[in-house]
Structure 1
Amino acid sequence: MSGEIVIRRMPPDFTRWHDLLGLILRAFAYMDGVIDPPSSAHNLTADGLREKASQETCFLAMQGENIVGCIFAAEHARHVYVGKLAVEPGFQGKNVGRQLLETVETMARAAGKPVLELQARIELTGNQAAFARLGFVETERTAHAGYHRPTSVTMRKILP
């Protein structure tokens, strides 16, 4: 697979929900058996993604017609929450995730939101380190319902 990666806002007439779901499931598959509770990606459906995209902004990383990454951004009063950042396994480590996050940073600044926030699972220390290299800092640890130990790390980035 060669060619330039282009980041674009999901078009209003997007119909490739099953392709997007497949991308997310492939990108999150390495978490299976590593994180507890299991990833919420397992609960996603094509219809659920369509609904999510109607409430949040989604950006796609495209190589030609191939979707190689995505990110969802939800605007809140004082920050933008980043979720479902997914990069096709063969494209991980090639700055696609960085490009997607930078696109959300630009969107947040334009909307007057000075902070990005995301959550990483407690077991995924490599993800936490990667986000730290991008300027995110841990702000709290939280537990999923029914758990008495932290299961997630909340990280924030103050935008310059």
Structure 2
Amino acid sequence: MNPIEQATIKDAEEILSLQKLAYVSEAEIYNDYTIHPLTQTLEESKQSFESSLVLKYVEDGNIIGSVRAFEKEGICYIGKLMVHPDHQNKGIGRRLMQEIESRFPGAVYELFTGSKSVKNISLYEKLGYKGFKQEKLPVEDTVFLYMRK
């Protein structure tokens, strides 16, 4: 397996393209193609590099996985874990999660995923996360499961 590297703002466009590809399966679960990962703009994506550490997994010169996180008051907020659909179920998502956690030692880790996203929830549970609340955000109809480790 290839090493996981820190992404830069130069990677924003490729990561956004990957995101839009990877999150189609989420949109299908909820029958909602207006979810934020699919409607996010390049400018919004670039802004996340200012506040978050963004990691990437590269294979054959292409970014096929990414995750981002930031820490505030001892809590590491993890978001936008994505792996190219053709490369899922090969351990890349697990490795990205382990690497992002290692960059914020001693923190409590928090993330959220769609409450119907069985595969995502299963991965996070295998990594030691436990659900602690469900909540619908005003921006879309998805009910999210918040998980903590």
Flag whether TM exceeds 0.5 (same fold). Answer: yes
Contact 1:75 1:81 in 2 (8 A): yes
Give 1:91 shift.
Answer: 1.0
Rg larger in structure: 1
| CA deviation map 1:54-109 (0-9, x unaligned) | 11110001114210100010111121011010101111101111111111111110
Structure 2 contact 133–146 (Cα < 8 Å) conserved: yes
CA–CA distance in structure 1, aligned partners of residues 95 and 142 of structure 2: 29
Determine the C-alpha separation between the residues in 2 that align with 1:105 and 1:17. Answer: 21
Aligned with residue 22 of structure 1, among 17, 40, 50: 17
Shift of 1:150: 7.6
Letter in 2 for 1:122: S
Corresponding position: 1:155 with 2:147? yes
Scaled by the length of structure 2, the TM-score of the pair is 0.90
Which residue number corresponds to residue 54 of structure 2?
58
Identity of aligned residues (%): 22
Q: How many Å separate the matches in 1 of 2:102 and 2:7?
A: 16
Instruction: Compute the RMSD of aligned alpha carbons.
Output: 2.0
Residue 84 of structure 2 corresponds to 88
Does structure 1 retain, via aligned residues, the 8 Å contact 2:57–2:63? Answer: yes
| 3-state SS of 1:119 partner | strand
The CA distance in 2 between the partners of 1:52 and 1:131, in whole Å, is 23
Query: Structure 2 regions of 5+ residues with no counterpart?
Result: none
Q: Aligned match of 1:139 in 132, 142, 145?
A: 132
Identify unmatched segments of 5+ residues in structure 1: none
